[in-house]
Structure 1
Amino acid sequence: MIEPAQNGSSRAKSRFWQSASGFWRGASAWRVWMLCVLLVTVVVLQLYVQFRFNYWNRDFFDALESRDPARLRGQAFLLVPLCLGSVTLAVTSVWGRMTVQRKWREWLTGKVIDYWVEDDRYARLAAVQSEQQIPEYRIAEDVRIATDAPIDLALGLVSALLSAVIFIQILWTVGGDIALPVGSHSIRIPGYLVIGVALYSGIVTTAMTLVGAPLTRLVQIKNQAEAELITAAHELRDIGEGAAPRDRRSEVCRDVRGALGATIDQWRRLCWQLMRTTIVSHGNTLLAPIIGLVLCAPKFLSGAMTLGELTQAAAAFTLVQASFNWVVDNYARIADWRSSLERVGGLLLSLDRLNRETPPQQAEPPALPTGSVRLP
């Protein structure tokens, strides 16, 4: 049976990691760790290229402002190696990331299938569960999400942390301090762009956390409804293939339509939830660059900041707020991952309980009509 939501969530997560972490240990795990080192190196190099693009942005617009053709040609030539390096690193990142994901999924899926089949647990689970587990869906789909997402999220988090460290320095240096008039006096705020991006990011992250709180549970319920629809459709196919009695056709058709209705209803609820989170995420996408420009505008208008420095600081502001709002940008992915992680862990816990509750027994053969002969 499936664990209650509040009671079994932490146990399911713990059970998932108990099994999944075996991939990162053992004699052959060093190859995977070498791939991870390569991926982190690629992330660092990508940030360096992004750093160079930030300064290219400043120099290009300064050359435009000064109407200097020689500087513009120099920046145009510099753009070619920067673009080539960025594309090469992006392709390498995709290869390394998907290789680790594929290997982890293959390893964990094999372990779960072996555990499911061992001692006839696949048959005994169907006899004791109190609601649909749909283990084949969890093995095929939830294991994929549970192994894909951690790699993407970990690399994204490393990139966000390093981006924040690098581009905060640019904001602090280029933005400098600002004097705000207060009555007959003025207050000087050092590193005002850094303070501004921290306050703005805190507001957006808090809003997303409050608005998106129900998302994980809704994704989990939606996945369960999808799995039950697949199971109902399989039962109808069994009737068509003669593996199940045809007199159950009407009942199974009703089950399929009921499962479809429940799935559509869960998708509707998920749609409304995603609409609410989109208000926050899309609003942030629109506002972040504008707020960076607005904060830099007073210094530009006073002549304390060049056009190139204005665009450089605005770009750095956008990158830093994206790093600070990493949770905002990945909230839906995190919710989907947590849902799949708990579902795989819940399946493993149910298989664990079979060891204690229903020891494997030889199934009794079905009774034959009088006069029948059982063939070997």
Structure 2
Amino acid sequence: MTGESTARLVTPRAALRRFWKAARGFWRGPAAWALIAMLVACVILQLFVQYRLNFWNRDFFNALEARDGRLIWQETRLLLVLAAASTALAIVAVWGRMTFQRRWRDWLTRSLIDAWLAEQRYQRLGFVNGQRQNPEYRITEDARLATDAPIDLAVGLLSALLAAAAFIVILWNVGGSLQIHIRGEVLTIPGYLVIASVVYATTTTLGMTTIGRHMVDVIENKNQAEADFKYVVARVNTRTTLAAVPDDASILATAQAAVIRQWRRLCGQHMRTTLVSHGNTLLAPVVGLLLCAPNYVSGAVSLGQVTQSAAAFVAVQGAFNWLVDNYPRLAEWMSSAYRVGILLKALDGLGERLPVLAREELQPSRTDPQTT
């Protein structure tokens, strides 16, 4: 039997568990945790700078409203210091993030190659889950995507959670309460900006998950079509005979058409998710200002407090909308990790059968295990 003997259905959950079981081995080393500690420190310090910039925003616009030239110049100099600190932290974070990704990919790729070459398993891989394994694509491209995205997503999620916690306090304290007059009665809504940001973020997140619910499957099919196309091209290029097979052109054309068809589906998915993400980017700052307008018109808050609250609103809803901003990247990672997990499950199955295969190869009367 070939790798087709392992062609039992591998569920996405089982494949992802197998991926993490293999990939987390890198995290056991001290170097990985040192990089993680550095990235966490960068996130916390960057959040502190953003928090201070939020108050700078208030002080600058208050100085502008008061036409205080001395205070405006003082705030301008402070802005340069905060901008320099934020830039330096961003550069360090990029180094730490990309170093972690590079080392993790190197570790995982070497592990995959070792498992693939062990006992010549590469000769027995066939189809699993109805898919050609194409280990060269999964070892190179899928392993890269599967180790790139988790670091970006984890750092972004941590930053979003901390930002939400920090800026909600500003929204609650600075934004104050909203008073609505209804038939002579006054309805007071405390912390209305916090409530509005939660409702706004929930709406956009639900919209993104509904519109993009098929994106993982679309990306998986696109990656499989790309892998199959490379496989067909490689077979034609490495054919031992110099004579061309009459069907080569049609086989290549069919594989190429499958790739283009899947890319067309992916384009449609990105167009739909862009409707939510781009619309959110345009509307969020305006919505924050509009929500602050009633208190400013009534004189309850200053211009600086309006801009501070609006900026905090954008920060909070941006944190709550982490899924909206990262949904395509998350779908891409899930697809690649799933494909790497399937390859590992297939190699596991071949490893379990190696003793049986060895006995069968010693019996000439039995069918060659690579041909059934």
TM-score (structure 1 length as normaliser)? 0.91
Tell me the SS of whatever aligns to 2:122: helix
Amino acid in structure 2 at the alignment position of 1:135: P
Deviations 1:332-355 (A, max 9, x none): 000000000000000011111113
The answer to which of 57-66 and 38-47 deviates more is 57-66
Tell me the SS of whatever aligns to 1:110: helix
Amino acid in structure 2 at the alignment position of 1:298: P
Given the superposition, is the C-alpha separation of residues 110 and 330 from structure 1 closer, same or farther in structure 2, using an over 3 Å criterion? same
Partner Cα separation in structure 1 for residue 136 and residue 253 of structure 2:
21
Amino acid in structure 1 at the alignment position of 2:25: G
Given the superposition, is the C-alpha separation of residues 90 and 315 from structure 1 closer, same or farther in structure 2, using an over 3 Å criterion? same
Shift of 1:3: 6.0
Given the superposition, is the C-alpha separation of residues 167 and 356 from structure 1 closer, same or farther in structure 2, using an over 3 Å criterion? same
**Paired position in structure 1 for 2:213:** 213
Given the superposition, is the C-alpha separation of residues 63 and 254 from structure 1 closer, same or farther in structure 2, using an over 3 Å criterion? same
Deviations 1:92-128 (A, max 9, x none): 0000011111111111110110000000001111499
Tell me the SS of whatever aligns to 1:125: coil
Given the superposition, is the C-alpha separation of residues 18 and 31 from structure 1 closer, same or farther in structure 2, using an over 3 Å criterion? same
Tell me the SS of whatever aligns to 2:125: helix
Partner Cα separation in structure 2 for residue 4 and residue 332 of structure 1:
29
Partner Cα separation in structure 1 for residue 272 and residue 7 of structure 2:
29
Partner Cα separation in structure 2 for residue 283 and residue 87 of structure 1:
28
**Paired position in structure 2 for 1:274:** 270
Residue pair 1:3, 1:346 contacting (<8 A) in 2 also: no
Shift of 1:274: 1.0
**Paired position in structure 2 for 1:341:** 337
Alignment of 1:135-154 (within 5 A): 135-154=135-154
Residue pair 2:7, 2:127 contacting (<8 A) in 1 also: no
Tell me the SS of whatever aligns to 2:213: coil
Given the superposition, is the C-alpha separation of residues 354 and 325 from structure 1 closer, same or farther in structure 2, using an over 3 Å criterion? same
**Paired position in structure 2 for 1:47:** 47
Residues 1:88 and 2:91 aligned together? no
Unaligned runs of 5+ in 1: 365-376
Tell me the SS of whatever aligns to 1:186: strand
Amino acid in structure 1 at the alignment position of 2:340: V
Partner Cα separation in structure 1 for residue 303 and residue 219 of structure 2:
46
Aligned length in residues: 356
CA RMSD of aligned residues (A): 1.9
TM-score (structure 2 length as normaliser)? 0.92
Amino acid in structure 1 at the alignment position of 2:286: I
Unaligned runs of 5+ in 2: 363-372
**Paired position in structure 2 for 1:255:** 251
Partner Cα separation in structure 1 for residue 282 and residue 8 of structure 2:
40
Provide the identity percentage.
Answer: 49
Partner Cα separation in structure 1 for residue 69 and residue 250 of structure 2:
74
Residues 1:332 and 2:324 aligned together? no
